[in-house]
Structure 1
Amino acid sequence: MRPRTDSVRRALITTTILTGCVVQPAFAQQGEVDLGQITFEVQGAEPVGNDANPNTLSGVKTATEITAVPQSVSVVGREAFGRENPSKVDQVLRDVSGVQSQLYGYDSDTNWFYLRGFNSSDTGAFMDGLSLFSYGFGTFYIDPFLLDRVEVLKGPSSMLYGASSPGGVVNYVSKLPDGDEGRSLTFGADSEGRAWLQGEVAGLAGPDLSYRFGGKLQRQDGHGMFEPGLEGVIYGGGTKAFADGSKLTLHLSYTDMDEDHVGGQFLPYFGTEKKGPFGHFDEYYNGGDPDEDAYDREQLIATGIYRRDVAGWQMTDTFRLGYADLEELYVYPNGFTSGQVPSATADVNRFVFAHDSYATIAQNDLRFTRQIETGGATHDLLVGLDMRRYRLDEEQAFALGTPLDPDDPSYDADQPEVGAPYIDGVRVQDQVGLYAQDQIRWGSGWIGTVNARYDKVWSSFEDELGPDLDREDEAFTWRLALAREFGTVTPYATVGTYFNPQALSADSRDAEPEEGRQIEVGVKWQPNPSSLVTFSAFDITRENVSQSLVNGGTFDSRTLGEVRSRGIELEADWQATEAVRLSAAYTNLDVEIVDFEADPSIEGKTPQSVIEEFGSVQLAYTPLSFPDLELRAGARYRGDSWADNANTLDVDGAWLFDAGATWDFAEDWTADLNVTNIGDERYTASCQTSFGTSSCWQGEGRVVSLGVTRSF
């Protein structure tokens, strides 16, 4: 590994150059000035509350109601998901249409999600509008404790965000200091042995400074872990208002994780999805080794948002510095000693894997907005320039481990040490993008949206073990959309393009960037202020596709050529009566490998792991005679999928049932009780095949959790 201080120093210098000329004048204000009434919040990022049609920054990068965004977008507020005691963000996404989450069961250290049939965890994860780009194990983990809302923009979004997943964007919105005041303390536990304690404080320090900070300590246990682990998360931020009307928000979060791996991962297809000679693996069967099992993460993310008026334009500059330091040692299953199909005496084959990954990211998104009226139309103009540098210094190594009995595992055997690294190098990707948008309103309810963006991307890989990579990519992307407001109903149609450079491996030297387009039509209906129903139908074409597969300790990348995703999505948040609220989501996809020169036999097949039909429904009831109590009942359906691209190994779907209750049982005291997968249904979260071996992940069983919060 190269010295890490150098990469951090370069990142600090980069961000200082990008933002220093903007931020410095703000701190130069002197003297006592009466600032009057100050609004500290960032519009489009404030708490959602009970608003079914809140403003969002996803989709148009200006604060716009969901119904006016010409693309499917879902917003899940803290008020909604906080009641469910989520331990991870991908749990928050379970009831969002178009999102297939938790593909790898209860993976305690990574948030996994597919959007509209495409893996979007690496290039589709954003935070406060800035990309959390990742490659390999150089990832950034976001705990739900840090968030006020989670936004999902579905479909290609390069016209605003540059290189990104064709499935869409999941935007994590931080808890920002917004002028609210209050304190809270929460403690909780669940039936798997997870326990947590968290507290938060928000308030004002004088008339021009708002602050907010908090911390969470969590014990991870259960799910087949050999030993309990610890996760600590702290955050803090302040918003300062200046005499010239400008505002500066600074936010810092730190995450530290030290834990073992959960069970139920990388298990062979036979024994997980289908019976083997020994039957099925036990729930959360751990194919690892207690003496060779470690996961350590240290992560720091610093974000700033500066806002001011400049010559009639509203300027917003969002900037970030972050690093993630990960070390991992893991023994994982890899088929049977007899091959893909187990014999009566076969053991589980295992590999020993280790990596040391250090990722840094530096970003800046500078944008200007202005509203003008001309020719009987109102134009909301947006122009922007964003820049990003991602750097990953990594080493990976492995060894052949000892086999393990699938029915009666014994962990007494010593494991060999990993050998020399098979990956050792530094990967860097720089992106610069210039974009513009015009949202035009005219006549009686017409809304037109025009987007254009040009990107330049430089990718390099200094490989200590093989040939280097040094390439440049560029692309022009766009979107055209038209909507019409008919009272409470807004139909829309949109067409747009996207691009995404191939992964940062030497193998991608001659690979063209992914590119494609989407056509989407839909309708959004807000029958009352507390309800919203959305429907969309879409067709996405994805060309030059590189499919990344989790292959034990490595990522196996295969080019599939062209993949097409078509489907419909329905989402409803309905206040049926004063006492009854209904939430529902349904997705039906048709994802097809259209072209694959290396193996034409899989053309017309569905990519592995993709679930094409899924949905959920949840009913919340608050008795009018007992308004301090909310009772919830829900059902989730996960449809069938495939464990291989040839579609020869099927994976059955499952129905899962949940229940919960929230009770304000005393003044300033609230209890949240939840039971997920009430029937403890045994199911497979997903399977995939790499190097001829299929790996599967067990779905999460029944979990009972209780959280108690004191507000003061």
Structure 2
Amino acid sequence: MRTGRRSGRYRLIASVVGMFAPLTSVHSQDIREVEQAQPPLPIVDFPAKPPADGVITTGRSAGESVQLDAIDVQGPGGGDANSGDAKGYVATDSAAGTKTNTPLIEVPQSISVVTQQQMQDRNVQTVTEAVNYTAGVETGMFGFDPRFDSFYIRGFDMTYTGVFRDGLREPAGSFSIYRNEPYGLQSIAVVRGPTSALYGLGSPGGLIDLTSKRPPSTSLREAEFQIGNFERYQGQFDLGGPIGADGVYSYRLTGLVRNSGTQLLDAPDNRYFIAPAFSFRPDAATSLTILTAFQNQLTTGNPGFYQTPGGQLTNIYSGDPAFQDFNQTQFRIGYAFEHAFNDAVTFRQNARYSYVFADVRYTQIDSIDPDTYNATRSTGRVIDHLNTFGVDNQALIKFNTGPLNHFVLLGFEYTNSAFSDKIGFGSAPDLNLATSAPNYGGQFIPSPLFSYNSYQSQQDMAVYLQDQIKFGPLVLTVSGRNDWVRTRTDDLANTSSTVQNDEAATGRVGLTYLSPVGLAPYVSYATSFTPTLGSGENGAAFKPITGDQKEVGVKYQPPGINGLITASLFDIHQFNSLSTDPNNQAFQIQTGEIRSRGFELEGVLNPLPALNVTLAYTYLDQKILDGDADTIGKSPSGIPAQSFSVWGDYTLQPDTFAPGLGGGFGMRFIGQSYGNDQNTTINPQATLFDAALHYDFANLDRSLAGVRLQINATNLFNTKYQVSQAGYGYWGQDRTIVASLRYRW
């Protein structure tokens, strides 16, 4: 959204782009509390592998007080819908790749799971931070931006079409983009490569599926206070457990309040978040979980600096506190229902209604007179409403045909989105930059009149079928889906309407070999299909973006070690790609083809009881094969060709000099990339460091069990770095330090 509407959205007036460049600073136990997993449903594993004792271990030291959230039974084998049998950092199962809780080693596609312990150890403040250490995921292409979570997978944008929550898509349009609070998440799954064969509309790069916290089976009580630089104050709580002794009913209530500044001039990062959840389990075969959440946040509508016509990013703030509020409200309510009829047939239904409202005001500097240092400025106002209802019905069937074991998934999905968008452009008084203290916020800036008003509705109906076939050590996964999409776009300002009907069949086929030594080589082919909310300058809806991928890889679970290592080679082609309209840079046109190929290596290991390690390496070779004439044969801008990250966290053991004291340290290397699609400028490489220090007070006094102090630093050495994309520059995140005091009882 930084350069306007991407991936099928209206691109805002080109001047809007400058406002998106982020700023540099312009202000000067000896006990273990472990929750038991819910009892697994009787049939739904492939294969069945519930924990032997019902207890999920953490991989931490025995001297550290840790309480895991209860694992909610949502699918095959029990366990979290994403993290499965997560042990500390290592998840062995996931529903994200197959919509069944299949062991990760059996899925013929590259998948990563960011577990709750990983997020807690790094005390992530955004979903973007949560996936910073994940292979194939590119973050930071737009620098520091407190408004949205933005990331690419294998070189393709996820912001609008690649984010799912609890298995259902979260559509987005213009500024109506969901901002997910990481404290409300149980885990995050990253599926790399096309997923349309099961999920329908989506990016060829893959998807990110966020799993909401679920009601636990045992009592959970947690309260935490955080304080950080930029005057950051945050309080949060997480309460839950069974209602009554029989465990039929259970609840969870998660909440957060934050009042904070940022590295931007007078730009807040305030948030209110509350997420009630309720579960009903009348018997071992039936479950109903209701998930709700409300969130409001206030931040800036322009996190940018002025960039000169020659492409140099300056320290001149482009926005103005007098007209820059970005107020967003979002709400959702849904449920996950499951019933096992017998040992062979299970029915599921997941449904959700969600709503996003965004009111954005921004001011930006368009030009500066080199003689007088007067800045000419413009303004913008955007009001968006997005309503979405989605329901996914699934039937899971197990049967055998001779030596072949089948696990069949049959589904019908329906999604309805309604998006309204109003945009206005105006002007602001000139700003005199010749003084030592420019008069930011000192002049009245009026709101512009709305000149653009549109309403768009989109209905998607789909049927899909998947068969996971086991024959000895071989697992053949075949998935197919057909989508029927109807998009109506009403230009209310010009009283015109267009209707577009799209139909597409997508599929995936993959083969995995499970060797007796823990190695699992695999090969797969998959296709994607992406119609989007938005249109070009003429008001007509864009054609669907399509893509396909060939992937080969190997997964390895080292014998005797809690860990998973994945290496993969891939080749993706995307068609009908969007590019800038050469006749009007405020909009986009469909002309292109992009090829993305590369290599990924990721390891998540718990080699010692108190040591957790993640490492990720990505090599990406991306080319524009068809598009704007001056970009053909070039690499898309802002995407590093190489990236590497490593994080480790260790806690001292009971027999050491300071049991319960631990820390983490991480390094993120962001390789060189191009600053524009013409490849005439280069973004230099950057190396960033993160760190953590934590202590569990139960090791000091047993009466303090449950008290934990933690300090986290992001960009520890305050490295200044910038990146340009499509010719626009952004500053990276400054050093951020957050101290937290948590009490669990």
TM-score, L = length of structure 2 = 0.83
1:525 and 2:552 aligned: no
Match in the other structure for 1:476: 505
RMSD of equivalent CA atoms: 2.4
Match in the other structure for 1:498: 528
Pick aligned residue for 2:725 from 688, 694, 702: 688
Give CA-to-partner distance per residue, 1:392-411, whole Å, 9 cap, x none: 11211111334446685332
Pick aligned residue for 2:697 from 648, 661, 665: 665
Give CA-to-partner distance per residue, 1:423-468, whole Å, 9 cap, x none: 202111111110000011112x111000110000011111112332
Match in the other structure for 1:45: 80
Match in the other structure for 2:297: 257
Q: Which whole-Å CA distance do the structure 2 matches of 1:580 and 1:142 have between them?
A: 29
CA drift of 1:572 comes to: 0.8
What is the 5 A alignment of 1:278-427? Answer: 280-281=314-315, 286-310=317-341, 312-334=344-366, 336-337=367-368, 343=370, 348-404=375-431, 408=436, 409-411=438-440, 414=443, 416-427=445-456
Match in the other structure for 2:60: none
CA drift of 1:70 comes to: 0.9
Match in the other structure for 1:195: 233
Give CA-to-partner distance per residue, 1:109-134, whole Å, 9 cap, x none: 21101110011110001000000011
What is the 5 A alignment of 1:529-568? Answer: 529-547=561-579, 556-568=587-599
Alpha-carbon distance change, 588 to 313 in structure 1, aligned in 2, over 3 angstroms: same
1:447 and 2:486 aligned: no
Corresponding letter in the other structure for 1:703 = T
Residues 608 and 644, structure 1, Cα contact 8 Å, conserved in 2: yes
Corresponding letter in the other structure for 1:235 = A
Corresponding letter in the other structure for 2:484 = K
Give CA-to-partner distance per residue, 1:477-503, whole Å, 9 cap, x none: 011100101121111000011111254
CA drift of 1:49 comes to: 4.0
The residue matched to 2:317 in structure 1 has which SS? coil
Alpha-carbon distance change, 84 to 579 in structure 1, aligned in 2, over 3 angstroms: closer
Q: Which whole-Å CA distance do the structure 2 matches of 1:406 and 1:447 have between them?
A: 66
Pick aligned residue for 2:638 from 597, 606, 609: 609
Q: Which whole-Å CA distance do the structure 1 matches of 2:188 and 2:134 have between them?
A: 10
What is the 5 A alignment of 1:242-253? Answer: 242-243=282-283, 245-253=285-293
Q: Which whole-Å CA distance do the structure 2 matches of 1:149 and 1:302 have between them?
A: 19
Alpha-carbon distance change, 658 to 532 in structure 1, aligned in 2, over 3 angstroms: same
CA drift of 1:600 comes to: 2.4
CA drift of 1:204 comes to: 0.5
Match in the other structure for 1:185: 223
Corresponding letter in the other structure for 1:709 = R
What is the 5 A alignment of 1:1-40? Answer: none
Alpha-carbon distance change, 679 to 560 in structure 1, aligned in 2, over 3 angstroms: farther
Pick aligned residue for 2:741 from 700, 708, 711: 708
Alpha-carbon distance change, 177 to 225 in structure 1, aligned in 2, over 3 angstroms: farther
CA drift of 1:266 comes to: 5.3
Alpha-carbon distance change, 613 to 39 in structure 1, aligned in 2, over 3 angstroms: closer
Match in the other structure for 2:156: 118
Alpha-carbon distance change, 510 to 291 in structure 1, aligned in 2, over 3 angstroms: closer
Pick aligned residue for 1:77 from 111, 115, 137: 115
Residues 44 and 54, structure 1, Cα contact 8 Å, conserved in 2: no
What is the 5 A alignment of 1:51-62? Answer: 52-62=90-100
Corresponding letter in the other structure for 2:483 = D
Residues 150 and 173, structure 1, Cα contact 8 Å, conserved in 2: yes
Match in the other structure for 2:49: none
CA drift of 1:505 comes to: 1.6
Match in the other structure for 1:459: 487
Corresponding letter in the other structure for 1:250 = I
Greater shift, 37-46 or 456-465, is seen at 37-46
Match in the other structure for 1:25: none
Residues 637 and 677, structure 2, Cα contact 8 Å, conserved in 1: yes
Alpha-carbon distance change, 700 to 244 in structure 1, aligned in 2, over 3 angstroms: closer
Corresponding letter in the other structure for 1:156 = P
1:268 and 2:307 aligned: yes
Alpha-carbon distance change, 451 to 348 in structure 1, aligned in 2, over 3 angstroms: farther
Match in the other structure for 2:40: none
What is the 5 A alignment of 1:582-593? Answer: 582-593=613-624
Residues 383 and 422, structure 2, Cα contact 8 Å, conserved in 1: yes
Match in the other structure for 1:18: none
1:127 and 2:155 aligned: no
Match in the other structure for 1:569: 600
CA drift of 1:348 comes to: 5.0
Alpha-carbon distance change, 379 to 469 in structure 1, aligned in 2, over 3 angstroms: same
Q: Which whole-Å CA distance do the structure 2 matches of 1:682 and 1:368 have between them?
A: 52
Greater shift, 462-471 or 65-74, is seen at 462-471
Q: Which whole-Å CA distance do the structure 1 matches of 2:553 and 2:185 have between them?
A: 29
Match in the other structure for 1:428: 457
Alpha-carbon distance change, 574 to 347 in structure 1, aligned in 2, over 3 angstroms: farther
Residues 89 and 117, structure 2, Cα contact 8 Å, conserved in 1: no
Give CA-to-partner distance per residue, 1:604-640, whole Å, 9 cap, x none: 1011222221121123233332441222111111112
Q: Which whole-Å CA distance do the structure 1 matches of 2:739 and 2:109 have between them?
A: 37
Which structure has more RCO (C-alpha within 8 Å, separation ≥ 6)? 2
Match in the other structure for 1:637: 669
Match in the other structure for 2:257: 217
Residues 44 and 62, structure 1, Cα contact 8 Å, conserved in 2: no
Q: Which whole-Å CA distance do the structure 2 matches of 1:154 and 1:313 have between them?
A: 30
Corresponding letter in the other structure for 2:660 = D
Corresponding letter in the other structure for 1:179 = S
CA drift of 1:345 comes to: 5.7
The residue matched to 1:512 in structure 2 has which SS? coil
Segments of 5+ residues of structure 1 without an aligned counterpart are: 1-36
Residues 254 and 301, structure 1, Cα contact 8 Å, conserved in 2: yes
Corresponding letter in the other structure for 2:361 = L
Alpha-carbon distance change, 402 to 646 in structure 1, aligned in 2, over 3 angstroms: farther
The residue matched to 1:316 in structure 2 has which SS? strand
Corresponding letter in the other structure for 2:146 = S
Q: Which whole-Å CA distance do the structure 1 matches of 2:207 and 2:634 have between them?
A: 26
Q: Which whole-Å CA distance do the structure 1 matches of 2:345 and 2:577 have between them?
A: 40
Residues 201 and 530, structure 2, Cα contact 8 Å, conserved in 1: yes
Pick aligned residue for 1:204 from 242, 255, 260: 242
Corresponding letter in the other structure for 1:268 = Q
Residues 287 and 332, structure 1, Cα contact 8 Å, conserved in 2: yes
Residues 287 and 339, structure 2, Cα contact 8 Å, conserved in 1: yes
Corresponding letter in the other structure for 1:94 = N
Greater shift, 73-82 or 401-410, is seen at 401-410
Q: Which whole-Å CA distance do the structure 1 matches of 2:572 and 2:150 have between them?
A: 21
Corresponding letter in the other structure for 1:396 = I
Pick aligned residue for 2:279 from 234, 239, 242: 239
Give CA-to-partner distance per residue, 1:50-105, whole Å, 9 cap, x none: 26233211110001121111101100011111222222111111110111123322
CA drift of 1:688 comes to: 2.9
1:595 and 2:595 aligned: no
Q: Which whole-Å CA distance do the structure 1 matches of 2:72 and 2:176 have between them?
A: 34
Segments of 5+ residues of structure 2 without an aligned counterpart are: 1-53, 55-69, 699-704
Alpha-carbon distance change, 107 to 136 in structure 1, aligned in 2, over 3 angstroms: same
Match in the other structure for 2:14: none
Q: Which whole-Å CA distance do the structure 1 matches of 2:441 and 2:526 have between them?
A: 57
Alpha-carbon distance change, 508 to 539 in structure 1, aligned in 2, over 3 angstroms: farther
Residues 379 and 448, structure 2, Cα contact 8 Å, conserved in 1: no
Greater shift, 315-324 or 100-109, is seen at 100-109
Match in the other structure for 1:26: none
Greater shift, 392-401 or 411-420, is seen at 411-420
CA drift of 1:579 comes to: 4.7
Match in the other structure for 2:266: 226
Q: Which whole-Å CA distance do the structure 2 matches of 1:82 and 1:165 have between them?
A: 29
Corresponding letter in the other structure for 1:224 = L
1:91 and 2:119 aligned: no
